[in-house]
Structures are given as structure tokens and as C-alpha cells.
Amino acid sequence: MAQIVLLDKSLRAGENAGDVISVHGDDVELSGAGYALARIVQVKGPTVEEVRAALLGPEIRPIWRSKAPANEWTTEQPEEKPVWIDGEDKKFLEKPPRHAVNLALSAEDLTALADAKTDKAATLALLAARKIENVRREIANDTKVTLATIADAK
Amino acid sequence: MPSNVYYSVSPYGTGDVKTGSPTIEIAAGVATLSVAQTGNIGVGCCIDFGAGNTLIYIAAVNSATSFDVVTATGGTPSNVSPAETVNSIHHEYASLNAAEAGYTDANHVNNTDLTTADVLVNLACYYDHDDDTADGTAVTLDGATTDSTRYVRIYTPQGGTESINDQRHEGKWTASRYALDVTATVLDLGDDYAEVVGLQIRCTSASTYRKGIYLRTSAPDNVTIDRNLVVGNGVGGASEGIVLDGSGHTVSNNVIYGWNGYGCQGYYDDGNCLFANNTLYANGVYGLLLDSSGSKVVNTIAYGHGTKDFYGGEPAGSDYNFSEDDTAPGANSIHGASDSKTPDFVDTGSGTEDFHLQSTSDAIGTGVGPSSDSDVPTLDIDGDTRSGATTDIGADLYVAAGPSGANTPWHLLCGRAA
């Protein structure tokens, strides 16, 4: 049993109504001025941890480019840039989103999520289907990078 | 002078935490309640009172019945007399990320430009007194316009004038104190001049590239990271405790352990950073990695790391550090293996780590004190006071016994039963 806190309005640059702010257990009260501009979505069935896992954003990792020709040593730091993992592709993360994911939920979705009779797997599948990875909203984040080698750690 | 605004965070949520059924009177910004408060409240908590549901926020704790209060924008509330009924006392947010997302809205500062609003934003973090649930949401702090006096300060109240009960760790991982415990990178700091003080920050994830505190997304300047526990818990490859970018940061009194990669790296920062009195232990690769000009490392222990304790040169002015290998920079630094000296932490066991110093520690009295080096912080991770020409190396100032004054709740200082 969980509650998802969503932005109800776009408030700052880079935000969108429906951006996921946090996930809590259903025993946590979420009211007052702090939540006056938020929308609370009730989710029956899955645990808080399962809902959080379903709403994770894409993996992000660094890649590096040496400033020296291949096989030559240098004291220069390699250049580092972040990429995000899009299936089999790695794409430059040029404009990180303020919030990793967004949920676009219809009235029917809200009813299904709050219905204790909905199968847990179906609930998680619905969340996954309605999840929008905000990194995809920026065309600047859609450039694939071809990696010659991958260094696991600098 | 900017106005201070205060909003509290607790994973307990926004439920009522008042004691009894008090009434409230307000005179010149001081609220007097008719019933002594014993709950998990303090600065940032919202008092909702009267038929009109007026909202005010605690700015200081004077006693269990007396509180300095401000409005949501930091102003002085109107006087209230005769007394009105308190409807609730509650935390404003259930997660730090919600506070970050919400503090600029129309019910609060109503501006992302804190210099225009002329406010210093205090986000005070409380633990969940009901069942100790940690704050489990990753936090991104960015998008505000700030300067050296108007910025965002994230911290745990320490009792005294800040809260009825202590919310801060005891220099080691502490149950029933506020903690950010997240499966992703925990805290992404993007705002200049942000302060993070007294938090327990832990990443619990087997995934790679997780970070505890990460400054590389936005490369802010002049961030302060002080008196935090930054812990990796079963984290995957290339995970790091603190990753800096930008310049002018102060990293002090932190205890950093459990990371697969580096404890703290300033490899990509632009320099002019201060690393003072930190303790880094047995992270997978390097303890403290630096490659920036103008930075300084002083009184820092990096010990037992997989590859090297310190790495990346000897920043000018760095001294009085302590490593197990021969990498601690500075003529007065200790190289434990070569010098046959040990820091003698209380407990290095996995899951029971306690990096306070034992009385036998060679870190005691071998650091430079604040009267000789003004870069040395005068408070240690427990709030104990450093003074004089020499002090201990690391985050902890060894104290033989007894509670530290700064960490002692006001009701104990006053001799009042908890």
C-alpha cells in the first residue's frame, strides 16, 4: 500500500504537472500547506519499495574521452560526460530533468490503482505503462554515443 | 539581513504531533502554549491555530511552552490575545525532496530567486518517531538563485533552541534520528551556497555509479558539507561518497565509509576547496582524491583504502593528515604503517561502524588547532568544541566521557526530565 506524491502544476523551469516527487506508505499523512499544490495518488497492493522500484528513472553513468592519442600517456584529465541508458543505447545527458519521471494518469487509472481488487502485477504494470522518463522530453538528450571502450572506473 | 524561513521535514508525515490540547497566545513573535510540548517538534514545524486556520512556523524553541515563530515568508506574526485553540502542530513535508519541490511555491517563499525574496531557507529534518522510517526519496536541490546570505540550508535540529528532542546522529549511524536512505544517488546538490549539515546519508543499492552527495550535475560553487555520515551500504562498482564539481566548497567533519570506489573526490572540481577534519575509512579504491589547484586538506584521516588513502598530489598548505599508507600530504602528517601509528577507531566492523577515537588513538592531539589555523572547524561531528593550537585529526574530537554540550537537548541542560 503506497501513496505517490505528484506535482499538480508545473511550478519551476523544467517541471511538469505529474512529475513524481516521492512515494510513501499509506499510513503517512500528506496534507496541509506543504501538499496544497500536490496530487496524492493512492496505490493498493504493491509495497512502497515495489512502487519506488517501478518509478525509477533510467540508469545514468559517466563515460570518458582521453585527451591523448590512443596508447599515449598524459597528465591531462580525461573528459567526463554523463550518459543515460536507453535500452541498448547510451545517450548523452545534456539536460538533466529536475524530476526523473512523470505519471500521466487518467481517471480510470486512478480508480484502478486505488482498487484493492486490482492484481498487484497489474497495478505495477499500469504504473510502468504510464511512466514517462522526463529525460526523453529534451531532444538534446536523444543523441546516441558510440563507445570505443568502457572504463568501469577512473 | 535576510529573513529566515523554516519548514520541517519528517517521514512521519504531516499528521498532528502536538501534546494535549493547548491554546496559543502570541506577542512580538513569541508563541506561548498552554500545554508543555514533548513531541518530536521544533524549528520548521507548523502551528495551525484558530477558527481561520492561521499558520505559523517555529523559528526557535525557548522552552516546552514558548516558541519564537514566524510566518511562511519569515515575517513576524500578528499578536494573538486572548488565547486561541491550537488545531495541530505538524511537519510541513514528509520528504526532503517534497520540501525542495515545494518551498518556492505560493504557500511558502513564492519565489525561486532567494535574493529577491531576501530569505535564507532552513529545511529542518526530523526522524519518524512512529516507526523510524527513513526518508527514502532521492533529492535534487537546484533551480534557486542564491548568494552568500540567501540560500538553502538542510540540517537536523540538535535539541536546545532547535527542537524538543535531538534529531541528529551521534557521530555514528544512529537509529531514531533523521536519515536519507535511498537506492539511487542520494543527494544531488546544484544550488550555490547550499549547506548540508548533520545528516545521515546512505545509499543501499547493489547498482553501479551510485553517489552519496553529488555536485557534478550542476557544478555549484561554495557548498558546505559538514558533520554528515555518508555511507555506502552494499553499493556496486564506482560508487562514491562525495563527488565535487565547481569551486569554493567546504567539506568538514564528515565520516565517509562503505563506498566501492572513492570516499570523496574533487578530481573535477575547480579548486579552492577546503577539506578539514574528515574521517574516511576503507572505501574500495581511494579515500580522498584531489586534483585541483588551491584546495587544502587539513586534519583529515583517510585510512585503510583499497588502493591509496590520499591521491592526486599535495595541495598547497595541506598538513596534519593521517593515512595508513604513505600518502597523507604534509610534513606533519602521519603515515600509519611507516610511523607505526594507528587511529584506533572505536569499531570498524561492518554494520557497527563507530569512527570515534579511542583514548589510545595516535590521532589525538596531533592535528593543528583552530587558534593556529583558522580553517580548522571549531565544532566536531558531535558538536564538541575544538580550541587551542593543537587538536585531534579526523571528524571526532576525543572526549573522555559524558555528553557533549552542543548535542544535549535543552531539557537536559535545564535539568528537566525528558
pTM for this model (two decimals): 0.94
Q: Is B175 exposed, middle or buried (0-12, 13-18, 19+ CB in 10 A)?
A: exposed
ipTM entry: 0.92
- Does B107 contact chain A (CB < 8 Å)? yes
With a cut of 70, list the residues of chain A below it in pLDDT: 10, 149-154
**Grid cell locating B355:** 569512527
Mutation choice for B interface testing from A16, A24, A49 by most B CBs within 10 A: A24
pLDDT at B402: 55
What is the nearest CA distance from B273 to chain A, expressed in angstroms?
Answer: 18
Q: Can you give the pLDDT at residue B415? A: 35
Domain extents in chain A: 2-142
Q: Do residue A80 and residue B99 have CB atoms under 8 angstroms apart?
A: no
pLDDT band at B292 (very low <50, low <70, confident <90, very high): low
Q: Please give the torsion angle defined by the CA atoms of residues B52, B53, B59 and B64, in that order, rounded to the nearest 10 degrees.
A: 110
pLDDT in tens, B72-119: 999 999 999 999 999 999 999 999 999 999 999 999 999 999 999 999
Contact B389, B404 (CB under 8 A): no
Using an 8 Å CB-CB cutoff, list chain B residues near A11: 101, 104-105
pLDDT at B268: 80
Measured N-to-C along each axis, helices A120-130 and A107-114 cross at an angle, to the nearest 10 degrees, of 150
What is the per-residue pLDDT across B42-76, written as a single tens digit (0 to 9) for each?
999 999 999 999 999 999 999 999 999 999 999 99
CA-based nearest distance A28→chain B, Å:
5
Residue window 68-97, chain A: list those with CB within 8 Å of chain B.
77, 80, 82, 96
B81: Cβ–Cβ under 8 A, 6 or more apart, which residues? B25, B26, B27
What is the pLDDT of chain B when averaged over all its residues?
94
